[in-house]
A and B are shown apart, each in its own frame.
Chain A
Amino acid sequence: MICAILRRLKASAPPPQEWKTKAFRQRGNRLVFVATLAPDSDLFTFTFEVDGGRWFFSHLETIQIPLCSVPPLPASSFPDLPESKKAWMREEIQTSENIRLFTFLKREKGRDFALSWFRDGEGYFVAARAWLPLLSEQEAFILYLCWEQSVLRGNHVTLEHLDETRAKVRLQPIYVKLYDTTSHLREMISREDYLAIFETVWKDRARAAGWDLKMSYDGTCCVMEFTKRGPVRHSRIWNRG
């Protein structure tokens, strides 16, 4: 996996001779370099391990929390990061934990049980109705999905269509990108199971809200096509504002 990441880095970055180290730290037998790959590029952290008189490449990281020394104490505020990086970090932490749980449950209880653990549709639909109180249930679910995925989780979302019987959402989830860009997830779980968790979650959420859901992929973009199941429950709104 790391081998593939290094090859991909080489293919997408300027020639290695142009990479410039900006800082270095030795931690025991680990050597950590912070470097740029081009004059205006983001920072990359390269970690090496020294063992038996040889160095080994260990890790490539694109996120750095800007703390380079212990701040004056007592300290109650700490440097922030752009929202997009924080969203990525939250998703990586949560996904890693979910995959760790999935692999345990699959081993102990079987794949179907492990997948069913992640079905949270009823609760998700309650949240949609509670937090979007002035929309119909159908609209509330679809618009909550869009809001939650974009505003709360930092995913790119495009709502292409919404009426009482049909909706179409293009979602570019960090979750899907994570599998291709981190090495540890691919060590833990197959792509088939990884996407099965994602699809199980969304199909259960759609089911709870009375929608059938068809999912397809366009690269790392997930196209979600919702079709209303059963009769449409009409609702009315009074606005005294």
Chain B
Amino acid sequence: MLGAENETAAMRVCDPETVWREFVEMMTSIEETSSDEVMDKVKPLLPLSK
């Protein structure tokens, strides 16, 4: 059952409309969001070490 829930969650998050809507919501309130919270939703395309 747990596996099925995870699969459903993975499918939900892959739904492009859901991802775009949640991203728009994040951007709408980005000024009031701390940098740590924003960075929690970021994973650079090109992993770089400093």
Q: Which of A27-75 contact B (CB under 8 A)?
A: 31, 33, 46-51, 53-59
**Are B44 and A183 closer than 8 Å at their CB atoms?**
yes
Q: Which of B2-46 contact A (CB under 8 A)?
A: 6, 9-10, 13-14, 16, 19-20, 22-24, 26-28, 30-31, 35, 38-39, 41-46
| A2 located at the interface, meaning its Cβ lies under 8 Å from any Cβ of chain B in the complex | yes
Q: Give the distance in Å from the alpha carbon of A7 to the alpha carbon of B19 in the complex.
A: 19
| A94 located at the interface, meaning its Cβ lies under 8 Å from any Cβ of chain B in the complex | no
Q: Give the distance in Å from the alpha carbon of A59 to the alpha carbon of B48 in the complex.
A: 13
Contact-residue bracket for chain B: 20 to 34
Q: Give the distance in Å from the alpha carbon of A50 to the alpha carbon of B15 in the complex.
A: 11
**Are A33 and B30 closer than 8 Å at their CB atoms?**
no
Q: Nearest chain B CB to A161's CB is how many angstroms away?
A: 42
**Are B23 and A46 closer than 8 Å at their CB atoms?**
yes
Measured CB to CB, the residues of A under 8 A from B are 1-3, 6-7, 9-10, 15-17, 19, 21, 24, 26, 31, 33, 46-51, 53-59, 183-184, 187-188
- Given A21-B20, A183-B44, A16–B10 Cβ distance below 8 Å? no
Knowing that A9-B27, A55-B19 touch, tell me 12 more A-B residue pairs with CB under 8 angstroms. Answer: A3-B35, A7-B30, A7-B31, A7-B38, A21-B20, A31-B14, A47-B45, A55-B23, A55-B41, A57-B43, A58-B43, A184-B48
Give the total number of A-B pairs whose CB atoms are below 8 A apart: 79
| 7 cross-chain pairs, A with B, having the tightest CB-CB distances, nearest first | A56-B43, A59-B45, A16-B27, A187-B48, A58-B45, A53-B9, A16-B24
**Are A26 and B23 closer than 8 Å at their CB atoms?**
no
**Are B30 and A2 closer than 8 Å at their CB atoms?**
no
Q: Is the interface of B mostly helix, strand, loop or mixed?
A: helix
Residue numbers in A under 8 Å from B14 (CB-CB): 26, 31, 50
Query: Could you say which of A2, A55, A187 has the most chain B C-beta atoms within 10 Å of its C-beta?
Result: A55
Measured CB to CB, the residues of B under 8 A from A are 6, 9-10, 13-14, 16, 19-20, 22-24, 26-28, 30-31, 35, 38-39, 41-46, 48, 50
Give me 6 A-to-B residue pairs in the complex whose CB atoms sit less than 8 angstroms apart, sorted by A's number. Answer: A48-B23, A50-B13, A55-B22, A55-B41, A58-B43, A58-B45
**Are B43 and A51 closer than 8 Å at their CB atoms?**
yes
Residue numbers in B under 8 Å from A57 (CB-CB): 23, 26, 41-43
Which of B24, B46, B48 touches A17 (beta carbons < 8 Å)? B24
Which of A2, A49, A53 touches B10 (beta carbons < 8 Å)? A53
Q: Nearest chain B CB to A237's CB is how many angstroms away?
A: 52
Residue numbers in B under 8 Å from A183 (CB-CB): 44
Q: Nearest chain B CB to A164's CB is how many angstroms away?
A: 47
- Given A16-B28, A184-B48, A33–B39 Cβ distance below 8 Å? no
- Measured CB to CB, the nearest residue on chain B to A19 is B24
